[in-house]
Amino acid sequence: MKRVRTVLGDIAPEDLGITSTHEHLWCDQGMCRTPDFPRSGEIMFLQDLDMVVDETKRYHAAGGRAIVEVTVHGWGRDLTVLAEISRRTDLHVIATAGYYVEACHPSFVPDSTCEELTDFLVNEVTQGADDTAYRAGVLKAAVGAARIEGNEEKCIRAVARAQLRTGAAITTHTSASARFHIDGGNAGTMFLDLFEEEGVDLNRVIIGHCDENADIRQLAELISRGAYVQFDVIGKEHWLLDTTRADLVAALVANGHAQRLLLSGDRNRVSEMHVSGGKGYDYVVRAFVPMLRERDVGDADLQRMLVRNPAEILAIQTTTETQAS
C-alpha cells in the first residue's frame, strides 16, 4: 500500500490535491553558523504563526491543498508548529528529514558516522521528529558548493541510505547553480551519480532549484535518468524571469516531459509574503499557471504537474519500518 506521510498522519495519494513541493513555513537561518553562511541581506526567517496561517489560507483559497515544508533539523524546523498550521488551514503538510548545507548542519554531524546520520533520519520518518510523534514524509539532501565532498557528502550518502530503508522520496537543494560555475548550471547530475552509486532508484529523486540557472538540455538529461525536475523558485525573478521559466516548462511539456515536472515557489522570508507586498504561497497557482495556459499548456498537463506528479513522488510504499510505531 502506498501512502503520503503528512504531519497529521498518512493519507492516500489521491487525497493530496494541488501541491506546492518546496516551501518553508517555519525556519530560522540565524541558527546557521558564521562565517560559513553569508549574512548579507535578509535571512530566511519565518516565526510568526498567525502570519503564516493567514498566508497559507490564501494558498488554500487559490486551490492549493498540500505543501511540502522543506526545512530540516538544524535551522528552526518545528513539527508541532507544522501540525498546528495544518489543523488551522486544512492543508496537508509534509515535513522533511535530512541535512541542509554544511553551515546549517546540526552540531552532531561532524562527529557522527554515516550510519548514525542514517539512523537519525530513519527515526524521523518512522517514529517522530523534534521530540514529537509527528513524522517526516520526505528526505532532503543539499550541497552548498560546486562539488560534493566532506561532511556534505557524508550527509548526502546518509540520505540515500535512509531512502533505501524508508522508501521516502529525496528532494534536493543545489546551491551549485548560478552561485558557482558548473556544467549544466545545476548540481543535479552529481546528485544522481552519487544516488545511483548508493543504489537509489532515481525515480524517487527530485532535483530542486532547476530554475535558478536553467539549461534545458541538462534538465532533459536529468528526466531521462528518471528524476523529477523541480521549478521551485517561481516568482524569484532575480534568478530568472518568470516568462522564461514559463517558456522552459512549456517546451519541456511539448517534448513529452510533463510526467517529471514539479512546480513551487520556495517562500522563506517575510518580505516574500502578501503582508509585506510579496507574491505569497499562492503565486504559482494564481499567476504562473495562467502564464503556462498562455503557452498552450493544457489542463491534463497542469493536473499532472500540480497533482499527479506530487502524489506519485511523495507516496511511500509502506513496510514494517515505515509503519507508525
How far is it, in rounded angstroms, from Cα 303 to Cα 268? 25
pTM for the full predicted model = 0.95
How far is it, in rounded angstroms, from Cα 255 to Cα 237? 25
- Rounded to an integer, the average pLDDT of 104-126 is 97
pLDDT confidence bin for 213, thresholds 50/70/90: confident
pLDDT confidence bin for 130, thresholds 50/70/90: very high
User: 144 or 250, which is more confident?
Assistant: 250
pLDDT confidence bin for 322, thresholds 50/70/90: low
pLDDT at 36: 47
pLDDT confidence bin for 174, thresholds 50/70/90: confident
Tell me the per-residue pLDDT of 144-173, one tens digit each, with 9 for 90 and over.
888 899 999 999 999 999 999 999 999 999
Radius of gyration of the chain (CA): 18
pLDDT confidence bin for 10, thresholds 50/70/90: very high
pLDDT at 321: 64
Q: Rounded to 5 degrees, what angle do the CA atoms 48, 49, 55 make?
A: 90
Count of CB atoms situated within 10 Å of the CB of 19: 27
Which domains are present in the chain? 2-317 (3.20.20.140)
